[in-house]
């Protein structure tokens, strides 16, 4: 059986990954079921001259899998992780050019970390391995592996959205990034809109066109680009026990739940304003509803994240001051993470799941909320049209997160929706969630990657045929002019072909 080599910016113990939620759960489940290796950063930051900087720590994990990790230096953490990854690529891919630090000089170290990771990983790759690279931190990894002679199937999955071409092309290094993506056999994306945007990026950069077989020819490389929406394992959330008697609200109050990392892409200020507007517009619901917003910290050393935290704390305080009473606080704002099993029970106790990102690759929390509901009395998800999940979860109440009035009215609609409609919506939503679960996501990606790699290998062989013919003609002409026997000319031709192949980067045509 082929080994799956998963590469991501951060690696964690499989047991911790299962509790962390999101995509980490799917990766952990995959590596428990199949022989594999999870490679990436171990979360540690060391000094430049640390003796352990280049040491790969390999240790056994669950089943037949292992973890292989490296640390980052303080400079790499600053420029590769906080810098280029999260202060250039993250805002641009979420359509926030105003927050991107293009001129900060982060790019060389971003490339340097990818080169260092590629060199370390190449020593661990076995001939039959299938390599699956995850997310924007590691876009150049495949091209660096190819330069080191790695010809294994290499796929890339982007968990965040692909921006419109005009936004992508604003990145000073856009051509390098596009060429790096072309080194993969398969690029997997969350939505059809993402697929369309990436294909258009290749076209608008002047280096791409669609082939008759549906693949893309870019920078003289053939690659496949497909949609693979990330799913969850619904069984992890079914059978939840509703949380009772949560403090600061009457026992019969209806709860809205939001769970989002503290990030400017999540539409958190818009959500709080919409809830405040709902209380103002429909005062009959005072003391009858409460919004619990869980917003765990993330990248707090980046200035934009400090700003969003201050904004949320001010908004929640203002709304609580305007509408709260001694025994009822309308907004419970919690700036820390909650255990996954605890979240499952809070989802079950919440009449509304409130998910309003301004831009999001998928938003798995919306799927988790639906899966946790009671089939005979389910709650209602309110979901931003700009979340990738909106392409699948069409039976949620879909809203524009920039429209506060629309979101306020959506809260009222969800609270007043009769049970029959809630059940009908829930059943259709669950059908989608069960059909496109985490196991289907990983299996379909890996199957497509193997097929795409085979097609790419065939294309390389086909592309070399004209070279064979041209060299044969040259050899024949040389033989006639020099009087060499045919077998000597053929030997010369073969030597020339081998030399030409060596000159191509990574031995690829």
Q: Which residues fall within 8 angstroms of residue 229, CB to CB, at 6 or more apart?
A: 190, 191, 362, 388, 389, 391, 392, 436, 441
Catalytic residue among 94, 137, 159, 332: 159
C-alpha span between 210 and 84 (Å, rounded): 30
* DSSP calls for 132-181: EEESGGGTTHHHHHHHTT--S-EEEE--SPPPPHHHHTTSTTHHHHHHHH
Q: In what order do the strands lie in the sheet with 352-355?
A: 331-334, 289-294, 254-259, 352-355, 380-384, 397-399
Q: What angle do CA 53, 59, 61 make, to 5 degrees?
A: 140
Strand partners, 360: 387
Q: What angle, rounded to 10 degrees, do the helices at 419-435 and 364-371 form?
A: 120
First to last CA, the chain: 29
Closest CA to 108 of 183, 172, 43: 172
- Name the pairing type of β-strands 4-10 and 352-355: unpaired
101 labelled catalytic: no
Residue located via tokens 């005009």? 166
* Whether the Cβ atoms of residue 6 and residue 34 lie closer than 8 Å to each other: no
Catalytic residue among 360, 395, 409, 437: 360
159 labelled catalytic: yes
Report, as residue numbers or ranges, the catalytic residues.
Answer: 159, 360
């Amino acid at each position: 059986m082929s080994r799956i080599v998963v590469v991501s910016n951060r690696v964690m113990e499989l047991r911790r990954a299962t509790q962390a939620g999101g995509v980490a759960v799917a990766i952990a489940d995959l590596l428990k079921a199949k022989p594999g290796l999870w490679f990436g950063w171990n979360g540690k930051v060391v000094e430049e001259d640390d003796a352990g900087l280049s040491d790969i720590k390999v240790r056994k994990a669950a089943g037949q899998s292992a973890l292989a990790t490296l640390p980052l230096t303080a400079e790499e953490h600053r420029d590769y992780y906080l810098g280029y990854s999260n202060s250039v690529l993250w805002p641009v891919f979420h359509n926030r050019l105003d927050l991107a630090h293009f001129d900060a000089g982060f790019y060389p170290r971003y490339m340097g970390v990818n080169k260092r990771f590629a060199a370390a990983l190449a020593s661990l790759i076995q001939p039959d391995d299938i390599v699956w690279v995850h997310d924007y931190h590691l876009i150049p990894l495949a091209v660096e592996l190819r330069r080191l002679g790695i010809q294994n199937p290499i796929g890339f999955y982007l968990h965040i959205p692909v921006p419109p071409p005009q936004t992508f092309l604003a990145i000073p290094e856009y051509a390098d990034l596009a060429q790096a993506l072309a080194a993969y056999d398969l690029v997997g994306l969350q939505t059809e809109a993402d697929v369309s945007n990436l294909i258009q990026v290749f076209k608008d950069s002047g280096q791409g066109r669609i082939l008759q077989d549906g693949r893309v020819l870019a920078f003289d490389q053939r690659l496949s680009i497909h949609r693979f929406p990330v799913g969850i394992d619904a069984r992890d959330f079914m059978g939840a026990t509703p949380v009772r008697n949560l403090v600061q609200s009457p026992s019969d109050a209806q709860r809205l739940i939001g769970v989002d990392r503290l990030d400017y892409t999540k539409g958190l200020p818009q959500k709080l304003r919409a809830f405040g507007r709902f209380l103002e517009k429909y005062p009959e619901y005072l003391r009858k509803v409460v919004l619990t917003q869980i917003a765990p910290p993330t990248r707090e050393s980046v200035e934009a994240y400090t700003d969003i935290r201050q904004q949320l704390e001010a908004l929640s305080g203002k709304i609580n001051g305007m509408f709260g009473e001694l025994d009822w606080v309308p907004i419970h704002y919690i700036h820390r993470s909650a255990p996954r099993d605890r979240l499952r029970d809070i989802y079950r106790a919440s009449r509304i799941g409130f998910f309003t990102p301004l831009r999001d690759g998928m938003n798995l929390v919306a799927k988790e909320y639906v899966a946790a509901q009671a089939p005979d009395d389910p709650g209602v998800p309110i979901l931003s049209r700009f979340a990738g999940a909106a392409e699948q979860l069409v039976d949620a109440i879909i809203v524009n997160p920039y429209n506060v009035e629309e979101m306020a009215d959506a809260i009222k609609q969800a609270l007043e929706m009769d049970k029959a409609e809630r059940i009908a919506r829930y059943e259709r939503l669950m059908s989608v969630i069960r059909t496109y679960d985490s196991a289907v996501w990983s299996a379909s990606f890996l199957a497509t990657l193997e097929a795409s790699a085979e097609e790419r290998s065939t294309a390389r062989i086909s592309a070399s045929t004209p070279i064979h013919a041209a060299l044969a003609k040259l050899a024949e002409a040389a033989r006639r002019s020099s009087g060499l026997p045919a077998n000597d000319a053929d030997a010369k031709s073969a030597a020339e072909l081998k030399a030409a192949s060596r000159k191509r980067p990574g031995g690829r045509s």
